[in-house]
Chain A
């Protein structure tokens, strides 16, 4: 039997007097890649922040499997430019209180092409470089669940592809589960095993193979959607 990673019951996220999702009841199995999709303002980041304990749920409850550790890459860096923190300081922040080897740090820095930047001040980096540092910071503590809030937003196409391959590789090595918020519907449905879709007309949750149909998407988005599947790729078009 597959181990349950996350269990929710009538779980609602949002702000007082402004719920952003319909009640969600789900059991997400361990080791899967979960894509969280929806339009702007649909509550994707709020959902993630609630599941990470940064916001209280509006209703229902949720429970992570025991002994879970999270690595979190926020949508925007929260670090004010007044902080004189170097890239290495950020990595130390990620590894605080956790056992990680010097070798792991070196490997992550190399894979994310951050080695030449290790002594640079974080505030002096470009947006794309900052995003890579934040991903490295989340990975350094060897989390069992990696949560990424739009990690590709500041990256170029080349690095997006590279990053995805790295996630796959790390996932195989470290057996973590992945929660990925992404705007690009076509990209995410081809990369994940599970979907949480926060549509304007309802929330849809489940494995991609089961829930990805024109009928479900039409209902969730409240508009006509064309779904095209071939052997390797899914294409979604709003009509």
Chain B
């Protein structure tokens, strides 16, 4: 397990070093202006960690695109709240009501999916596609008429926001903390129900309860993360770290820890890249994730080299 952590830590230093070498002035500036950036970077780390944890179960349950539909549902809820408040002459830009509206719509998307899924009349992909495309269309449709306008749409969808208020950060820490504790306490239930729900049901576990509980944590986690990171980076962080961690994992614990590690470091590196070359923040996070994906090609070979060296030293 430790070789994988060493490998991905080295990748992190490589990315940091490349940034430093190619643009030392801005890299130094980034380090010196740390006090200006620490809140969004910290929010990114916490949101990324949360997404990586939820994404781990999402990948294991083979419901990657369900989360995309839920993410868009949450986005639509947030915009609907903006629209309704604007209609009555209020602004909700920093209000927690928007997160609540996002949660309601994300839950509605998850509920709609579960109803259609149970009826087994249509393939899941069609339903996920419908929910995704309708909510995406409605976001742009309503977004055109809200006071916050295109800027807010870009922030929410593509994660271009670079400012996070202390209240928003506090709320994110609180929610992420609660979800992480729940997932730690009930890690076996979540893992076993994901692995073989039929067996666990026969063994007497209430699998429906645990799946609903999982979807609830997924919906809450997505809603609070996307307010900070944006829809696209949230989806990327739910897929890339779990995929990288599960690819060569030898135990569930190793996979979770590596997923959390990658989820925590990709967003700050995204901010770093965005700062150095003035790229959009959300897209920068995805590019960093892609960078790790490319570097992971060498993971197996390097790990084998480490293990072979270690065993030859022992003998």
With A80-B62, A96-B192, A121-B250 as given contacts, are A54 and B202 in contact (CB-CB < 8 Å)? yes
Q: Could you tell me if B198 and A72 are in contact, using CB atoms closer than 8 angstroms? A: yes
Q: Which residues of B contact A82 (CB under 8 A)?
A: 59-60, 246
Interface contacts (Cβ under 8 Å), in number, total 72
- Chain A 110-144 interface residues, beta-carbon cutoff 8 Å to B: 121, 137-138, 141
The stretch that binds B, out of A34-42, A83-91, A169-177, A228-236, is A83-91
- Residue B294 is within 8 A (CB to CB) of chain A in the complex: no
**Interface-central residue, B198, B254, B255, by most chain A CB under 10 Å:** B198
Q: How far is the CA of A82 from the CA of B59 in the complex (A)?
A: 9
- Chain B 240-262 interface residues, beta-carbon cutoff 8 Å to A: 246, 249-252, 254-255
| Closest beta carbon of chain B to A91's beta carbon, Å | 12
Q: How far is the CA of A172 from the CA of B246 in the complex (A)?
A: 42
- Chain A 195-238 interface residues, beta-carbon cutoff 8 Å to B: none
- Residue A52 is within 8 A (CB to CB) of chain B in the complex: yes
Q: Could you tell me if B200 and A84 are in contact, using CB atoms closer than 8 angstroms? A: no
With A70-B203, A84-B255, A97-B204 as given contacts, are A78 and B250 in contact (CB-CB < 8 Å)? no
Q: Could you tell me if B196 and A93 are in contact, using CB atoms closer than 8 angstroms? A: yes
- Residue B195 is within 8 A (CB to CB) of chain A in the complex: yes
Binary per-residue interface labels of chain A (141-160) against chain B in the complex, 1 for a CB within 8 Å, 0 otherwise: 10000010000000000000
Q: Could you tell me if A78 and B196 are in contact, using CB atoms closer than 8 angstroms? A: yes
Q: Could you tell me if B255 and A93 are in contact, using CB atoms closer than 8 angstroms? A: no
Q: Could you tell me if A89 and B252 are in contact, using CB atoms closer than 8 angstroms? A: yes
Q: Which residues of B contact A98 (CB under 8 A)?
A: 203
- Chain B 165-198 interface residues, beta-carbon cutoff 8 Å to A: 188, 192, 194-198
Q: Could you tell me if A79 and B202 are in contact, using CB atoms closer than 8 angstroms? A: no
Name B's interface SS: helix
Q: Could you tell me if A79 and B203 are in contact, using CB atoms closer than 8 angstroms? A: no
Q: Could you tell me if B59 and A53 are in contact, using CB atoms closer than 8 angstroms? A: no
Q: Which residues of B contact A79 (CB under 8 A)?
A: 195-196
- Residue B142 is within 8 A (CB to CB) of chain A in the complex: no
Q: Which of the residues A72, A80, A96, A121 comes within 8 Å of B202, measured between beta carbons?
A: A72
Q: Could you tell me if B250 and A83 are in contact, using CB atoms closer than 8 angstroms? A: no
Q: Which of the residues B188, B199, B203, B251 comes within 8 Å of A84, measured between beta carbons?
A: B251
Q: Which of the residues A69, A71, A78, A93 comes within 8 Å of B198, measured between beta carbons?
A: A78
- Residue A31 is within 8 A (CB to CB) of chain B in the complex: no
- Residue B85 is within 8 A (CB to CB) of chain A in the complex: no
Binary per-residue interface labels of chain A (93-114) against chain B in the complex, 1 for a CB within 8 Å, 0 otherwise: 1101110000000000000000
**Interface-central residue, A69, A74, A85, A98, by most chain B CB under 10 Å:** A85
With A89-B252, A121-B250 as given contacts, are A53 and B199 in contact (CB-CB < 8 Å)? no
| Closest beta carbon of chain B to A96's beta carbon, Å | 6
Q: Could you tell me if A94 and B198 are in contact, using CB atoms closer than 8 angstroms? A: no
Q: Which residues of A contact B62 (CB under 8 A)?
A: 80
User: Contact residues of A with B, CB < 8 Å?
Assistant: 49, 52-54, 69-72, 74, 78-80, 82-86, 89, 92-94, 96-98, 121, 137-138, 141, 147
19 example contacts (A-B, Cβ-Cβ < 8 A) are as follows A49-B198, A52-B201, A53-B202, A54-B198, A54-B202, A69-B203, A72-B198, A72-B202, A74-B198, A78-B197, A78-B199, A84-B246, A86-B250, A89-B252, A93-B195, A93-B196, A96-B192, A97-B203, A137-B199
**Beyond A71-B203, A86-B250, A98-B203: 10 further Cβ-contacts under 8 Å?**
A52-B202, A54-B201, A70-B202, A78-B199, A79-B196, A84-B251, A85-B195, A93-B195, A94-B203, A97-B205
